[in-house]
Amino acid sequence: MTERADVEAVNVAFYHAFESGDLDAMTELWIDDGETLCVHPGALPVRGTAAINRSWALIMANTPYIQFFLTDVEVSLLGDVASVTCTENVLTADETSDDGSFNGAKAVATNVMVRTAAGWRLWIHHASPVLSDPNHED
Amino acid sequence: MTERADVEAVNVAFYHAFESGDLDAMTELWIDDGETLCVHPGALPVRGTAAINRSWALIMANTPYIQFFLTDVEVSLLGDVASVTCTENVLTADETSDDGSFNGAKAVATNVMVRTAAGWRLWIHHASPVLSDPNHED
């Protein structure tokens, strides 16, 4: 149970780094590798930690406000690898939003982590928009 | 290099099973576990191999024709776990299609496999629609 809690804590730290626009914290959560993978919702894959860091810097610079409410958080452990699946219920505001106005969206994320000497670190983040009726799995 | 080729061959077998509507072949490609994960494009996660098999049965029953052209196939190895990322360029036809008419779409997939005595088997499949300009990573 402690391992699952550790994995879930890293997952929470990941969303907290994004919410607070903390690129250093985000960078520390990833293994530094050329084969890491990040798929932002609706986008093509970004491969390698250096490119992933640049993608986060760009996203954070263009996201004045973002807040995540995670639901359906499920942890799966397989030796030295763990995955967390969750539904990201997202509130955002950008420069085009009226005062006090927010955009809501829903995405599904798979976050795959590996065990390192420093703790669990991200290897893969794949987020995708939820387009279908939630009561109808195609 | 042989390991990467083995992993890529299982990835090809996965899409072949889907294209040929072969549910038995698809089922054999997954580890039988309650914590496997499958995200179909735009959908919420399906968790556990039994539920995943049911989802494939439903999709195959409703897909008279589907063909995948995979591009940007990238294999990443991490001990007993491997991931394949690829762009799925998809051609489909369904009962609403005119004769000789196809629908085209593009998705990005992350396929995470684990090493078993029987070879590499799927643990996670996460596919997501590509919505953004391919030249603009957000």
How do residues B60-75 score in pLDDT, each as one tens digit? 999 989 999 999 999 9
Instruction: Give residue-wise pLDDT tens across range A114-123.
Output: 999 999 999 9
B135 touches A: beta carbon within 8 Å = no
Q: Are A54 and A61 in contact (CB under 8 A)?
A: no
Q: The dihedral of CA B36, B40, B112, B17: what is its sign?
A: positive
Written as one letter, the residue type at B109 is: A
| Percent residues over pLDDT 70 in chain A | 90
pLDDT at B136: 47
- A53-62, A70-79, B101-110: least confident range: B101-110
Smallest CA-to-CA distance from B52 within B83, B79, B26 is with B26
Mean confidence (pLDDT) of chain A: 91
| Beta-sheet pairing, A81-93 with A103-116 | antiparallel
* Residue B50 CB coordination number (10 Å): 13
β partners of residue A76? A83
User: Chain A 62-101, CB below 8 Å of chain B: which residues?
Assistant: 62, 72, 74, 76-81, 83, 85, 87
- Residues of chain A with C-beta less than 8 angstroms from the C-beta of B41: 128, 131
Q: Is A23 exposed, middle or buried (0-12, 13-18, 19+ CB in 10 A)?
A: middle
**Taking residues B6-27, what's their average pLDDT?**
98
Examine the pLDDT at A137 and tell me if it is beyond 80.
Answer: no
